Structure 1
Amino acid sequence: MSCPEDIDIRPITEAEIPGWIRALNTGFLRAPHVSDDEIADRSSYIVLSRTLAAFDGDKCVATFRSFPQELTAVGGAAVPADAITNVSVTATHRRRGLLTRMMALDLAAAKERGDVVATLIAAEYPIYGRYGFGPAAHAAEWTIDVPRTGLDRNRPAPDDGGRVDLVDGAEVRKLGPELHERLRRSRPGTVTRDDRWWQLNTGALRLERSSWKEPFYAVYRSPSGDVEGLAAYVCDDHWGDDKRPLNTATVKGLITTGPAAERALWHYLCSIDWITTVKTGGRAPDDLLPHLLPDPRAARLTTYADWLWVRILDVVRALEARTYESAGTLVLEVVDEAGLAGGRYLLEAGPDGARCTPSDREPQLTLPVGELARLWLGDESAVRLAALGSVREQQEGAASVADALLRTSRRPWCPDIF
């Protein structure tokens, strides 16, 4: 067994891409075989300087990659983010600190670049808190029992004068990016989608390893003709022994810019002949969906979990980027064991803007940098975290002050995985 100090961690070279992919597939319990198609695809978009690996001799035994991203803060401002993905450690080399070393290299580089935050989707909960990440946005999924909804399935057209049309992938590539940008400017927690995302998710780019199945695409247009919603869904083919249809529509993605489009698309999905069950896919935890149905109990919550994890790298820029519905001041003592964002900060905020500066005042609230991420995106309550012992009030009532400043009326949501 190699000693940890004998294992080299560094960015990979182009010649090492196949071995890196094999280690990644192994770590994610996929068939380790590496195809020419996969090598060509990875080579087309990864940035070698941001693609790390651990080498035991000449064998890749751990993988790590990051890429540039923008994350929407409360109020709609986009902050530069270091998006982390493809993290794996081969089973034979676990518990040797390899991920810790790769994470330290990447976060230091992100801080040097000027990224405000780092982001990731965590496969397992306990891993990333020790690196300063906090679960900043959650996701929920519902399963809808269509016959129970109480909807009039003979009225599939929206009742607001708008319309729902089916389109193909080529049309989605024209309409989707602008619609997503409008959503991204209005919903904290959303992240950028590049052209490759739209190519992959509409079938223009098909990979050998992918099990992609062409979905149906439904577009909602407002009475004025503006595109305000898009849903992608697939259907199975399941019939009961008595020739009754028992088909399920599974939503692969549904984005809208307002409640009218949301209502119209969910009602449309529940009106499709033969469909008796609709699976919603990942939704915001405070989604309107259950209460868009005459009987909200027809939508059964099947998943509720942490989703987007955020790591603050620049406290001043993060707190100044977002908006605040009420006015107030708060002195925060941010604890960051990695030394990237710790310190004492005075936040002076209100509806007209915010100013955050290093301070020598006595702190009112002490918290780890990971808990700050949860509060920054507006999803969590400082009062609740204080009750859990995750943050500490240095001044009575400070957690309530933090809630009045930082909590939002709608919860953040990230509709993507990366």
Structure 2
Amino acid sequence: MGTEIRTLGDDDVAGWLKALNTGFHRAVELDPEEVALRRATLELDRTRGAFDGGRCVATFRSMPRELTVPGGAAISADAVTNVAVTPTHRRRGLASRLMAADLGAAKERGDAVAILIAAEYPIYGRFGFGPATWVTDWEIDIPRAGLDRRYAGPDPAQGAIELVDGAEVRAFGPALHERVRRATPGAISRSKTWWDLNTGAVVHPSNGWTAPFFAAYRDTATGEVDGLVAYRVNDPHWPNKLPHSDVTVVSLTAATPAAEAALWRHVLSLDWVRKLTTDHRPPDDVLPLLLGDPRAASVETYADFMWLRVLDVPVALSARAYAPLAADLVLDVRDTAGLAGGTFRLETAPDTAPRCTPAPGAAPDLTLDVADLGRLYLGDESALRLATLGLLAEHRAGAAATADVLFRTARRPWCPEVF
């Protein structure tokens, strides 16, 4: 009853970090140097805690991000992270109160959507979030992959692979990421802090840091870096004098098909490597089809990843592109939190910018929860499938089929990173 929800002051940071680590079952104590490093990454007016008797017992923060939507436009997103409740204060509604405070502030700021990475599937639907992107983690048996082990790199007339260091990555990486992000629905902007942490410029002592190899693909004609891969190699004891190394691809970003193929071939042809594993890749990644035998690539994880909650229906639906189809759909969006509900008309036509406007009193063609609008928004979910599941109600024959064609995208959306 007496637990207070509020944003942080500087004196609250150490206790907030302790509560965060406790909630995620990590080492609790941080030295003052690390507290200062982590304080530098926090926007205190967007960082909230639940305080019981002056002690922080639950944590929550958000970050400003741009989200790329189908068609290449970017919209403002409230990126939610660090949601944790200490074991002594679970099941008291603290996460719900923290979420309500943050989403209310995001709505007032004019953010079009909120996004997060869901630690557990059942948690966030009740707050209006729906799974909007999925990821696949791969494991590749290199000897079975059917690769030419004599591969010596890309054609020099087209491009070249260069090993680079963290400082070089910080110099060209942000521009490369922006090129890729604007062509990838579901991708988000990265802060300077992201680049510092992921290239070793800033190291949190409790996390440690093992520098990966960085390999860049540079186009010969333009001289521009069109791709980057970060990978780590584990080279253990060789049983019976036979190589038994494995490589983990931390990330691979490519702005062109040539760069993507060249970087994959680079890591797949490393000497002594028997197995390659990837971090979170697109659900329709081309990786298996680059192999001589795609069966050498097995799925280790296939799961929902970024969840999305619409906060401003007209802004969000007007920002993205749709299939080139003349359509007029009236959507009845249900939102128990009162943030984005209402009746809205979505109008589309070939060679014309889409328009979504409030339509109070109009007879709806479709009714759906705001969480299911989040599923549809980036193009990964099928309106027809939602209708089959009873999650979308059709009031005009053919309306669900029209929505299915309008919202779906040729390539599935992808969020490349945890945030």
Could you tell me which residue of structure 1 aligns to residue 301 of structure 2?
Answer: 303
The answer to whether the aligner puts 1:377 opposite 2:378 as a matched pair is yes
Aligned to 1:199: 196
Q: Does 1:183 align with 2:180?
A: yes
Post-superposition offset of 1:306: 0.7
Aligned to 2:391: 390
Instruction: Decide whether the 8 Å contact of 2:30 with 2:206 is kept in 1.
Output: no
Cα pair 1:164 1:221 within 8 Å, conserved? yes
Note the 1:142-153 alignment, pairs <5 A: 142-153=138-149
Alignment correspondent of 1:271:
269
Q: For 2:239, what is the secondary structure of its paired residue?
A: coil
- Give matches, 1:87-102, under 5 Å: 87-102=83-98
Secondary structure of 2:99's aligned partner: helix
- The 5 Å alignment of 1:5-404 reads 5-159=1-155, 161-224=158-221, 225-327=223-325, 328-351=327-350, 352-359=352-359, 360-404=361-405
Deviations 1:14-72 (A, max 9, x none): 11111111100000000111221221012212121211111111111101111111111
Instruction: State the TM-score, normalized to the length of structure 1.
Output: 0.97
1:69·1:83 contact (CA, 8 Å) conserved in 2?
Answer: yes
**Partner Cα distance (1:156, 1:122) in 2:** 41
Report if the CA contact (8 A) 1:166-1:217 is conserved: yes
CA contact (8 A) 1:156 1:267 kept: no
- Normalising to structure 2: TM-score of the pair? 0.97
The answer to whether the 8 Å contact 1:68/1:80 transfers is yes
State the AA in 2 paired with 1:370: A
Question: 1:399 & 1:243 partners in 2: Cα distance?
Answer: 61
- Contact between 2:330 and 2:345, CA under 8 Å: does it hold in 1? yes
Q: Give the number of aligned pairs.
A: 414
Aligned to 1:361, what secondary structure does the other structure show? coil
Q: Is the 8 A contact 1:9 1:54 kept in 2?
A: yes
- SS of residue in 1 equivalent to 2:241: coil
Partner-residue secondary structure (3-state), 1:386? helix
Give, in whole Å, the separation in 2 of the partners of 1:200 and 1:45.
10
**Aligned residues of 2:160 and 2:217 also touching (Cα < 8 A):** yes
Q: Name whichever of 156-165 and 296-305 sits farther off.
A: 156-165
Shift of 1:221: 1.7
User: Percent identity at matched positions?
Assistant: 55
Residue 51 of structure 2 aligns to a residue whose secondary structure is strand
User: 1: distance between equivalents of 2:366 and 2:136?
Assistant: 31
Give 5+ residue unaligned stretches, structure 2.
none
Cα distance in 1, alignment partners of residues 33 and 118 from structure 2: 27
Could you report, residue by residue, the CA deviation over 1:115-161 in whole angstroms, capped at 9, with x for unpaired residues? 00011111111100000001100111100111111111111312473
In the aligned structure 2, how far is the partner of 1:98 from the partner of 1:350? 45
Q: Is the 8 A contact 1:166 1:216 kept in 2?
A: yes
Q: By how many angstroms is 1:92 displaced?
A: 1.1
Give, in angstroms, the shift of residue 212 of structure 1: 1.5
Secondary structure of residue in 2 paired with 1:285: coil
* Mapped partners of 2:177, 2:313: distance in 1: 28
What RMSD in Å do the two structures reach over aligned CA positions? 1.1
Q: How far apart, in 2, do the equivalents of 1:350 and 1:91 lie?
A: 53
* Matches of 2:36 and 2:213, distance apart in 1: 29
Q: Render the CA deviation track for 1:313-360: whole Å, top value 9, x for unaligned.
A: 000000010011222121111000000000111100134210111113
